[in-house]
Amino acid sequence: MPSLPPPGDPAPADGALPGTALAEVPHRPLVAYVHVPFCRTRCGYCDFNTYTPSELAGMSTGDYRSAVVAEMDLAAKVLGDDRPALTTVFLGGGTPTMLPAEHLVGLLGELRERFGLAADAEVTTEANPETVDPAYLATLREGGFTRISLGMQSVVPHVLATLERAHTPGRGLEVARWATEAGFDHVSLDLIFGAPGESEADWRRSLDAVTEAPVDHVSAYSLIVEEGTRLALRVRRGEVPMPDDDELAAKYLLAEEVLTSAGFSNYETSNWAREGGRCRHNLAYWRGANWWGFGPGAHSHIGGVRFWNRRHPRSYAAECLAGRSPAQAREVLTPEDRRIERVMLELRLADGLPLMVLSGSERERVGDIVAEGLAEIRSERLVLTLRGRLLADGVVLRLLD
């Protein structure tokens, strides 16, 4: 079952934003996220806002596309004529590649028509390896997509079975080769570590496989058992064990060792890239850019106002097609809220956090954190060490007032 958003405050039906938020629009990068909520099946660990065909009876992909385009029209009106061109676009899900390639290219075209794309715009789609072939990838590339992120998770059959992933172990590597041959500028592979029954040798097999693939980006996430998922139910029943924190730490360190040795460098706690391969879209989130999230359940942030859409595709579409904002609720952040979020996000980056962002009392705590080997000061920035990355959430809690 998908996790629930915070309650928030009522969002206006016309999508209007405060003048203070709109005043920031011309002066910050603007990026777009498009949520495609369709999946063939729901993986046992997943709590994302996704829906299988049986859960969407009576709603077509055409209805979805019409609703998203209507939201694009609303966003263009709300943001005004002074908005900058989009620097990045990211289609995520769900499984965007459940839609025909022409539909994804069409959605990109609708964004381009309304917002414009920067000359060097990064355009990404997530993909399930089983849903694409060389012809599909060629259509995406010809249509303007520059980057693809493949959800491989593991190359070990029993680990994929535990995660309830529907693709064969080598499929992600094969698709990475096809994407390179199709001319994608950037190819990323996503991995998950810590699945019940995954040994250190299993994890090393997956790491070794991605380092030999033609990719310039790897994301490696520790498995989180989310309430409401089938995996959480299995853990509660005692069918599989809860991931062990020490084991997860050891696997993270192994990822750092293997990926760094292969020419990748960590630029955010869970992400590694070769030279030039950093995901600019995700960096925009972490660095506080403005973004509009289109689609059911998508979140947005414009000038310190955070808002999120109705989650079910039918409810979302009904609002959009009636000419109303699909936003379910919103939250207007105070300057202090935004400062705290900046600390939480930028400290995860390899570039670190400028010390000037910290309050006086917070700067007084920096010395102890540095003395314990959790962080270093480089060019007036606080940068987590490898040990600090393992304990990043705890470091933030200790640091903040």
Reduce the DSSP state of residue 216 to 3 states and report it. Answer: coil
Domain residue spans of the chain: 9-287, 334-400
Work out whether the CA dihedral 289, 294, 300, 302 comes out positive or negative.
positive
Per-residue model confidence (pLDDT) at position 50: 74
* CA distance linking residue 175 with residue 395, whole number of Å: 38
What is the 8-class DSSP label of residue 12? P
What's the token pair of residue 162?
């535990």
What's the token pair of residue 153?
């998770």
Helix (H) or strand (E) holding 93: strand 86-93
Q: 9-287: which CATH topology?
A: TIM Barrel (3.20.20)
pLDDT profile of the chain (401 residues), mean per 10: 69 97 97 91 65 71 93 98 97 93 98 98 96 97 98 92 78 96 98 93 97 97 75 71 87 98 98 98 96 97 97 94 97 97 97 97 97 98 97 96 89
Strands (DSSP E) contained in 137-224 are 147-153, 186-193, 217-222
* Number of other CB atoms surrounding residue 114 within 10 Å: 17
Strands (DSSP E) contained in 7-60 are 30-36
Per-residue model confidence (pLDDT) at position 55: 73
DSSP percent split of the chain into helix, strand, coil, nearest 5 = 45, 20, 35
* CA distance linking residue 23 with residue 17, whole number of Å: 10
Alpha helices in 287-348, H assignment, sequence order: 313-321, 335-346
Close Cβ partners of 325 (under 8 Å, ≥ 6 residues apart): 11, 12, 13, 14, 15, 74, 319
Per-residue model confidence (pLDDT) at position 119: 96
* CA distance linking residue 69 with residue 26, whole number of Å: 23
Reduce the DSSP state of residue 302 to 3 states and report it. Answer: strand
Half-sphere exposure of 399 (CA within 13 A, CB side): 29
What's the token pair of residue 391?
């304990």
* CA distance linking residue 358 with residue 369, whole number of Å: 14
CB 348 within 8 A of CB 383: no
Half-sphere exposure of 364 (CA within 13 A, CB side): 4
Phi, psi of 350 (to 5 degrees): -65, -25
Per-residue model confidence (pLDDT) at position 8: 87
**Would you give the end-to-end CA distance of the chain in angstroms?**
35
* CA distance linking residue 359 with residue 316, whole number of Å: 41
Locus of tokens 């920067």: 118
CB 219 within 8 A of CB 271: yes
Close Cβ partners of 371 (under 8 Å, ≥ 6 residues apart): none
